[in-house]
Each structure stands twice: as C-alpha cells, then as structure tokens.
Amino acid sequence: MAERVRVKPLSPPGHVRAPWYLRGKEGVIERPLGAFANPEQLAYGLPAEKKPLYRVRFTMAEVWGDRAETPDDTLDAELYGHWLERLGAHAP
Amino acid sequence: MPHDHHDHFHHEGMSPSGHPYRADDDAPLSYWQRMEIAVRELLVEKGNLTPAEIAAQIEAMDARSPANGAAVVARAWSDAAFKARLLEDASEASREMGFDIGPLHLIAVENTQDTHNLIVCTLCSCYPRNLLGLPPDWYKTRAYRSRAVREPRSVLREFGLDLPDHVTLRVHDSTADMRYIVLPARPAGTDGMTEAELAALVTRDSMIGTGLPRQP
C-alpha cells in the first residue's frame, strides 16, 4: 500500500526547497527519510525545527501531463512533511 | 631556434606564432567572491580557523574523486552482502570501505535490466561531493537541471545513451538533504575480474546515470 500525497500548491515568500514544478502534483511516498532541520529557517540563520522528510515518487504523466516524454517514467523528489497533504492510502 | 626565421615578422596584436592574443579573463571580484574573502578573513582574524586549516580542507575536497565511488560500485558488484548493505544505507556502506564522507546522507539507486536511474538537482547543484568530489560543470547548468526532469530521455540521447522503450527511467531530484549515487548494472563479460579491474570500468557519468560503465 503506497500512501498518496499531494504537494501543497503554496507560493510563500523566501527560501523553500519544494520545487515549483511539483506544487499541486500528486505522488506516493517512496520512503520516509527521517527528520531534518527545516531549510526555510536554516536559510536565514534562524533556529530550525526538525521536520520529517519524505521521498515522493511522481509519474512523468502527473508532472507534465500530455507533454510528458514517457508517461510511465518517474520522478522522485525529497519533500518536507509540511508541504504534503495526505490523500489516504490506495492499492498500488 | 624555432622563431629565428630570416623572413620573420610580427603582425600588430599577434603572438609570435601568428595567433591573436587572448584577452585576460580576470574581472573584478563579484559580490559573492568579496563576501567569501571577507568572511574567511574575519574567521581567521577572530581565531576560529587558521589559513592552514582552510588550505587543508580545500586539499581534502580536491582529493576526492569519482574513483572513490567506483570502488564502492566495484565492491557491490563483487559482494552481494555489501550490495545489500549499500542499497539499505549507502552512507554506512561507504564509511565501511574507509571513505570519510562526513555527514553525507547517501542513497544508492540500482540500475537493472528494466530500470535506469538519473540524478539531478533542479534547485542548485547538490551532488555527493564527499564521495565523488566536485560535480562536472554541466551538472550545474540551467540546461541540464531543467531538461533532466522535463525531457530526460532526450538528454540521455545527447550523452550517447539511447534508452530502450521497455526500460523505465527514474529521475531523482536531490531537493533536500539526501545525495544520490547510481549503482550501474555490472557489464556482461566481467566474470572473474578483480575489484580493481571492475572499478576501472566505472565512469563518473555511470554513477550520475548519464552514461553506462565501460565494457571490458
């Protein structure tokens, strides 16, 4: 059972590490990576909270739509938990 | 004497061998270069670091090379238990081989008959420097960083790698704290080769995914 998530379609000011091209896209959690200091605070020299980080797998079809080069190829990226909404589990 | 011809003459602005002089490439310091120098000098002045320590660190970084990664790959090709540990925790497996990789969080992704992996960092230039040394210049270009996620198969073709349709391509965008190394598939015809011989087949690009290992 792969857990489905959506990257929050936010555009806050300042340093973030959720790539623009993945915002609003849905994928599955490939693996949890542990907790890491939040780069959105680290970038400004602020005390940074540890945030859970996940590797999320997207299909190229999800990311690029009809313009995908090969729809079933995949793209994995690391995303912090506070950028993800859980969509509930579904059978792969 | 090579330049002692009796009909010797110089064109204005030409070198003795007849080529135009190239302009010097030194330009004024950029904002960030000035800031780096200022911070470095402050750290030295305040006694946090010595110039010798900074030079030693630069030397240590320059000494890291793709040969380190090639040794890890060759070990994985030769030792199934090591390969399992590498895929489970690539940082620990690299340390086990004696590589000082500092706090590097490394993930190894395995190429198989039906899967090929490609590494990119779209946000900047994240690369497993502590194992493989400095990234190639093209890895840091906007063209590679944007095209590797948008049209990776075209990018691979430009590197000379035409991926068959039945092979799934997995692109890995190093967006945060992890760094990635591709574990290429062991080439055919390498039975009986030693780890050192195998390591010589492992190219830098094969560990980024823009190439395959050399054939024996």
E strand residue ranges, chain A: 2-7, 26-37, 50-59, 74-80, 84-90
pLDDT score for B8: 54
Active site (annotated) includes residue B146: no
Q: What sign does the CA torsion over A84, A19, B170, A38 have?
A: negative
Catalytic annotation present for B94:
no
Instruction: Tokens 């849905």: give the residue.
Output: A26
Kindly report the average pLDDT of chain B as a whole number: 93
- Which residues of chain A make contact with B104, given a CB cutoff of 8 A? none
Rounded Cα distance between A30 and A33, Å, is 10
Residue A37 backbone dihedrals phi, psi, to 5 degrees? -60, 135
Percent over 70 (pLDDT), chain B: 95
CA dihedral (B194, B197, B201, B203) in degrees, to 10, reads 100
- Give the pLDDT confidence of A42-85 residue by residue, as tens digits: 999 999 999 999 999 999 999 999 999 999 999 999 999 999 99
Which residue spans of chain B are classified as CATH 3.90.330.10? Answer: 65-208
Element (H, E) at B125: none
CB pairs under 8 A between A and B: 63
- pLDDT value of position A9: 97
The answer to whether A77 contacts B173, with C-beta atoms less than 8 Å apart, is yes
Contact A76 B171 (CB under 8 A): yes
* A70: CB partners within 8 A, 6+ apart: A60, B153, B165, B169
Distance of residue A73 Cα from the nearest chain B Cα, in angstroms: 5
Distance CA B187, CA A63 (A): 33
pLDDT reported for residue B1: 46
More confident site: B125 or B158: B158
CATH topology of domain A4-10+29-86: SH3 type barrels. (2.30.30)
Nearest CA in chain A to B121: A77
Confidence (pTM) = 0.88
B141 close contact with A: CB closer than 8 A: no
Which pLDDT tens digit goes with each residue over B137-166?
999 999 999 999 999 999 999 999 999 999
B153, B170, B177 ranked by CB distance to A74: nearest = B170
CB under 8 Å to B17, separation ≥6 — which residues? none
Q: Where are the alpha helices (DSSP H) in chain B?
A: 31-45, 51-63, 66-78, 80-88, 90-96, 129-132, 142-150, 152-158, 195-199, 204-208
Is residue B125 annotated as part of the catalytic site, yes or no? Answer: yes
Per-residue confidence (pLDDT) for residue A2, from 0 to 100: 79
CATH class of B65-208: alpha beta
Parse chain A into domains and list their residue ranges: 4-10+29-86
Cβ–Cβ below 8 Å for A74 and B169: yes
Using the CB atoms, write b or e for A52-91: b if 16+ within 10 Å.
ebbbbbbbbebbbeeebebeebbbbbbbbeebbeeeeeee
Specify whether the CB–CB gap between B183 and B202 falls below 8 A: no
